[in-house]
Amino acid sequence: MHSVTTTHGPRADTAGSRLRRSGLRVAESLAAGICALACAAAVHASDAVRAMPAGDFLQTLAVVTHVSYTDGAYVNVHNVADDMAWLGIHHVRDYAPGSSIPFASYVYLAQRGVKFNFLMGADFEKKIGQVANLNTEVPGSVAAIEGPNELNNFPVAYQGLTGAAAGLAVQRDLYARVHGTPELKGVPVYDATGFEPRSVETRTNSADYANQHVYPQNGEQPLWNANGDKWMLAAIHLGQRFQLPLVITEFGYFSLPQAGWYMLGVDERTQAKGVLNGYMDAAAAGVKRLYVYELLDEKPDPARNNDEMHYGLFRNDNSPKPVAYAIRNLTWILNANAPGRANAAALSTLAYTLSDMPASANSLLLQKKDGRFVLVLWNETLIWNRATGTPLTSPPAHVDIDFGGKARRVDLYDPLASAQPLESHRDLRQLTVDVPDHVILLEITPANTPGT
């Protein structure tokens, strides 16, 4: 995330150098050893899998905004609120209220259902009061407070300290300040980013959540790549190191197709694949919340030579990119409940079996409020040709599914295509599906579901 300045002139630290250093840090972390994902890709016969409530999954979806930027697309806070509602996402990460826009703009967004993770720096004492006021004005609107951003790229000075020592001191004092403010009771503190974790023994009294940034390089998948790059696993390892729950406060791809080494620019459809896969990877691994960078393309870029202006889910003119449509489809599918069907919360497990799942594939079982299950499948095969800067589509994996009993109905959705089912099946126990390089959903109504 960039500095709070509202004018975007030349920067000493370019996005490319920031991302290349991020890639090197991830590679070093991987060399130290990575633990496996919290859920297995293959489900064995007779395993009863406990479903994650769909509502809990939806709370993991988040996006970065720049409401404090007054010289670009974010100046229209009504668009920001409308876009968030259209997506079906509530959580944003942004800078704490300052002097650049009226405090009323934050109140308006909060009243529209936006829940903030506010980013703080060395001047947190100047801003903590505004944050507390917002949480008083709209209770529950402050979901978290985060320490300094990317200390390796944006150093801070604090109480005579510089570098990482200054950033860690800010984080410690910010933690104490937040937990000592009655108006912020219960608000968790996310850790700073950009410090070297191997030099730090503990985050006790400094953070409630470990925090990482994940930018898959070379147009690669978020988690599984045949060449051994597993970008998101490095973040997961950090949370395990400090024995803290984990948030990922920056993740994404910019939609400006590029070729070469340590570049991540892709076309808009590939951006949609990577973002949805990343949301699923994070939830399957137990990540509390993943913030995609970012909601809007900040400024026009007619020459198409500024990477920074193409991270958005929406273009600069506020038109949705494929990734925005895909997220909207996903949230709509998961929120849609069958009318009149009884809540089947007691039936929270499904003993399904997946056969012939490749190592690059993964699954996540969700359950909607009406008791229906949603089995999410995705296969992280190659999606980008690094040499030519063009999209790749690998053959889908043919996966056999046994639902552990007769299913009254199974609907197959592809959120990149539609919020309506592409296939519907009735009264079956087994089904073969083609799992592509992006998320598909199987909505399953077991025969014994109450209300059916």
pLDDT, tens digit (0-9, with 9 covering 90-100), for 107-143: 999 999 999 999 999 999 999 999 999 999 999 999 9
List, for residues 406-441, the tens digit of each pLDDT value: 999 999 999 999 999 999 999 999 999 999 999 999
Q: Which residue has the higher pLDDT, 26 or 188?
A: 188
Assess if CATH 1.10.260 describes domain 341-446: no
Average pLDDT over residues 387-406: 95
Give the 3-state secondary structure of 254-300.
CCCCCCCCCCCCCCHHHHHHHHHHHHHHHHHCCCCEEEECCCECCCC
Name the token pair of 5. Answer: 């300045």
Query: Taking Cα atoms as reference points, which of 365, 391, 384, 383 lies closest to residue 436?
Result: 383
Which has the higher per-residue pLDDT, 300 or 38?
300
Residue bearing tokens 């506020």? 318
Residue 240 confidence (pLDDT): 85
Q: Where are the beta strands (DSSP E) in 75-124?
A: 91-95, 115-119
Share of the chain above pLDDT 70, in %: 87
* Mean pLDDT to the nearest integer, 8-33: 33
- Residue 391's pLDDT band, with cuts at 50, 70 and 90, is very high
Q: To the nearest whole number, what is the mean pLDDT of the chain?
A: 89
Q: Domain residue spans in the chain?
A: 15-38+54-334, 341-446
Determine contact, residues 290/60, Cβ cutoff 8 Å: yes
If you average pLDDT over residues 322-334, what whole number do you get? 98
The answer for residues whose C-beta is within 8 angstroms of residue 221's C-beta and 6 or more apart is: 274, 277, 360, 380, 381, 382, 383, 437
Note the pLDDT of residue 237. Answer: 86
Query: How many angstroms separate the CA atoms of 295 and 62, rounded?
Result: 10
Q: pLDDT band at 284, cuts 50/70/90?
A: very high
Q: pLDDT-based confidence at 100, cuts 50/70/90?
A: confident
Structural contact between residues 429 and 299, judged by C-beta atoms closer than 8 angstroms:
no
pLDDT value, residue 239: 81
Alpha carbon distance 394, 421 (integer Å): 23
The angle subtended at Cα 171 by Cα 170 and Cα 177, nearest 5°, is: 85
User: Which of 35-44, 101-110, 378-387 is the least confident region?
Assistant: 35-44
**What whole-number distance in Å separates Cα of residue 381 and Cα of residue 183?**
47
Provide CATH code, domain 15-38+54-334: 3.20.20.80
Residue 169 has pLDDT above 50, yes or no: yes
The answer, yes or no, to whether residue 404 has pLDDT greater than 50, is yes
List, for residues 336-363, the tens digit of each pLDDT value.
988 766 554 457 999 999 999 999 999 9
| pLDDT value, residue 136 | 98
Q: Stretch 42-67: mean pLDDT, rounded?
A: 86
Separation in Å, CA 82 to CA 77, 244, 253, 347, 428? 9, 34, 23, 36, 41
pLDDT for position 46? 52
How deeply is 36 buried, as exposed, middle or buried, from its count of CB atoms within 10 A (0-12, 13-18, 19+)?
Answer: exposed
Tokens 């109504």 found at? 445
Tell me which residue of 183, 114, 181, 173 sits closest to 147, measured CA to CA: 173
For 306-315, the pLDDT digits (tens) are 999 999 999 9
Distance of CA 183 to the CA centre of its chain: 28
Check for a shared fold between 15-38+54-334 and 341-446. Answer: no
Scanning the structure block, which residue is given the tokens 């975007």?
Answer: 8
Q: pTM of the predicted model, to two decimals?
A: 0.90
CA-to-CA distance for 331 and 271, rounded, in angstroms?
18
Helical axes 15-31 vs 231-241, angle rounded to 10°: 60
Nearest to 135 by CA among 110, 112, 113, 99: 110
Nearest to 128 by CA among 118, 137, 113, 116: 118
pLDDT class for 5, splitting at 50, 70, 90? very low
C-alpha span between 411 and 422 (Å, rounded): 7
Considering only residues 17 and 267, tell me which one the structure prediction assigns the higher pLDDT: 267
Eight-class DSSP state of 161: B
